[in-house]
């Protein structure tokens, strides 16, 4: 199975401009392709994960990736999939975010000489002369066609600023510049970027009389049709300081039964034949599949050592096996104890299991709190300092939130 056929088998491809030509280029390792990343935060998140995996797969097949960081487009903001305008960022914040991106991307992509490139579109966008740009590019875009694009249509009711209206033109111009500067002949992106990507292929055709290609990746949606990579507390980040390797592991360990095989196909590098054999798995076997998924993805993002630790910690909690050493932990200091003891509400709040003492009270009253596997029913329950000595105690809220509490 060649790389294009594998991408199809894994369910990764959504739309393409010219399938036969793209298949030929990708399979022969002749694609110089780019994917854009706007630096809207100081870390990549699960929403970027599939794009990074795709870049890695295609690079392994001999193709050359260009990671385009949106130092210029980031100053405008992509309206796709949003109901409001993005917060404007300073050039300093954008540069800091760009630097963070490159460090994280290097875990997936080989940026050594001739293998891949990282480019910032600020190089050409920030120096543009407005009048010259309008004359050079403006005639090639139909406002009627732009307003039919899905990314703009969904914003028309609430209001679409002229600033954001320029985003499609900026992204199209990026492709035009990359085509001329680096021979970039293909753009990949999420399926919500299709209109913007077609704008780039059309601009290259009109200005240069040459063909360029576009392919969109299937959006990572769960069985309910919602984007994956979000939790109640926010995005699942690739930065271990923002989402710990353990929490990252737990996110994937807890995906729905209906989503686990899809995630294994789309996100892991396990042989497709091995994943196909899991198609008939059910019941407890699906839990095994979830463990495989969580381990493989944690290893990809954080390395094998952190994946081993996360798996050990999870098994200690859920399977009564493995070491509690690698669980998320909270240290209590002497000043946290009053007369040698501390109450349950203080522990839940300090450990981060509850946002406040009042929320902690509700959690206990609703029966959602346990300590070392025993349900806590009394909101006035207290624990002495000596109970936390040694390996500590495991406090759990709900099915998925827990922490090991120890003393310094």
* pLDDT tens figures, 334-364: 888 888 889 999 999 888 888 889 999 998 9
Q: Among 96, 75, 82, which residue's Cα sits nearest to residue 47? A: 82
Between 334 and 214, name the one with better pLDDT: 214
Q: Which of 8, 9, 5, 14 is nearest to 194 (CA)?
A: 14
d(CA 41, CA 209): 37
pLDDT recorded at residue 318: 63
Condensed to tens digits (0 to 9), the pLDDT of residues 179-196 reads 999 999 999 998 888 988
The larger pLDDT score, comparing residue 408 to residue 280, is at 280
Greater model confidence, 181 or 372: 181
Find all residues with CB under 8 Å of 260, minimum gap 6, and list them: 286, 289, 290, 293
Give 216-270 pLDDT, tens digit per residue: 998 888 888 888 887 656 788 999 988 889 889 989 998 999 999 999 999 999 9
The answer to whether the annotation marks 130 as part of a ligand binding site is no
DSSP one-letter string for 57-125: HHHHTT-EEEEEE-TTGGGT---TT-SSPPPP--HHHHHHHHHHHHHHHTTTS--STTT-EEEETHHHH
Query: How far from the centroid of its chain's Cα atoms is residue 177's Cα?
Result: 27
pLDDT of residue 300: 93
**Domain 329-407 top-level CATH class:** alpha beta
String of DSSP letters for 114-143: TT-EEEETHHHHTT--HHHHHHHHGGG--H
Please give the pLDDT value at position 234.
Answer: 72
Q: What is the rounded CA–CA span in Å between residue 34 and residue 189?
A: 8
Domain ranges of the chain: 3-217, 230-318, 329-407
Mean pLDDT of the chain: 87
In this prediction, residue 142 carries a pLDDT of 84
Residue 82 has pLDDT above 60, yes or no: no
| Ligand-binding site membership of 171 (annotated) | yes
Contact predicate 221/46, CB 8 Å = no
Band the pLDDT of 154: cuts 50, 70, 90.
low
> Does 201 have pLDDT greater than 60?
yes
- Residues 197-202: what's their mean pLDDT? 94
**Residue 81, pLDDT score:** 45
* 251 is known to lie in a ligand binding site: no
C-alpha span between 117 and 218 (Å, rounded): 24
Check residue 323 and give its pLDDT.
Answer: 58
pLDDT tens digits, residue range 29-45?
Answer: 999 999 999 888 899 99
Do 172 and 202 form a contact (C-beta atoms < 8 A)? yes
When the candidates are 1.10.150.120, 3.90.1200.10, 3.40.50.620, 3.40.1390.10, the CATH number that belongs to 3-217 is 3.40.50.620
**What is the reported pLDDT for 217?**
92
182 a known binding residue?
no
Query: What pLDDT shows up at residue 204?
Result: 97
How is domain 230-318 classified at the architecture level of CATH? Answer: Orthogonal Bundle (1.10)
Whether residue 143 has pLDDT greater than 50 = yes
Cα torsion at 154, 160, 164, 170 (round to 10°)? 60
Lowest mean pLDDT segment, chosen from 52-66, 119-133, 308-322: 308-322
Per-residue pLDDT, 325: 67
What average pLDDT does the segment 160-177 reach? 86
pLDDT of the residue at 400: 66
pLDDT single digits (tens) 289-307: 999 999 999 999 999 999 9
The upper half-sphere exposure of residue 199, i.e. CA atoms within 13 Å in the direction of its Cβ, equals 26
From the CA atom positions of the chain, what is the Rg in Å? 25
């Amino acid at each position: 199975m060649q790389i294009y056929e594998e991408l199809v088998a894994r369910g990764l491809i959504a739309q393409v401009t010219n399938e036969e030509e793209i298949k030929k280029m990708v399979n022969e390792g002749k694609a110089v392709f780019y994917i854009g990343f706007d630096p809207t935060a100081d870390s990549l998140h699960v929403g970027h994960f599939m794009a990074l995996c795709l870049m890695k797969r295609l690079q392994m097949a001999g193709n050359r990736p260009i990671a385009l960081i949106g130092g210029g487009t980031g100053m405008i903001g992509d309206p796709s999939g949003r109901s409001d305008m993005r917060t404007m960022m300073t050039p300093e914040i954008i540069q800091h975010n760009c630097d963070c991106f490159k460090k994280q991307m290097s875990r997936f992509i080989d940026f050594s000489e001739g293998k891949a490139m990282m480019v910032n579109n600020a190089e050409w966008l920030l120096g543009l002369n407005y009048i010259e740009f309008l004359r050079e590019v403006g005639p090639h875009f139909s406002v009627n066609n732009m307003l039919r694009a899905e990314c703009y249509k969904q914003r028309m009711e609430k209001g679409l600023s002229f600033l954001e209206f320029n985003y499609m033109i900026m992204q199209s111009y990026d492709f035009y510049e990359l085509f001329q500067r680096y021979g970039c002949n293909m753009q990949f992106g999420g399926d919500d970027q299709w209109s913007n990507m077609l704008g780039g292929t059309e601009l290259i055709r009109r200005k240069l009389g040459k063909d360029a290609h576009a392919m969109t990746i299937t959006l990572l949606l769960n069985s309910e049709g919602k984007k994956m990579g979000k939790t109640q507390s926010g995005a699942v980040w690739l930065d271990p300081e923002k989402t710990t390797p353990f929490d990252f592991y737990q996110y994937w360990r807890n995906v729905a039964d209906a989503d686990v095989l899809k995630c294994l196909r789309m996100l892991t590098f396990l042989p497709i034949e091995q994943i196909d054999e899991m198609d008939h798995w059910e019941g407890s076997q699906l839990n095994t599949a979830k463990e495989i998924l969580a381990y493989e993805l944690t290893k990809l993002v954080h390395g094998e050592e952190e994946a081993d630790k996360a798996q050990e910690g999870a098994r200690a909690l859920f399977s009564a096996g493995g070491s509690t050493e690698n669980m998320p932990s909270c240290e209590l200091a002497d000043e946290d104890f009053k007369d040698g003891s501390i109450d349950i509400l203080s522990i839940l709040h300090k450990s981060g299991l509850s946002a406040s003492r009042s929320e902690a009270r509700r959690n206990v009253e609703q029966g959602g709190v346990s300590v070392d596997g025993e349900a806590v029913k009394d909101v006035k329950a207290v624990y002495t300092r000596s109970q936390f000595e040694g390996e500590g105690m495991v406090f759990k809220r709900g099915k998925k939130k827990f922490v090991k509490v120890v003393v310094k």
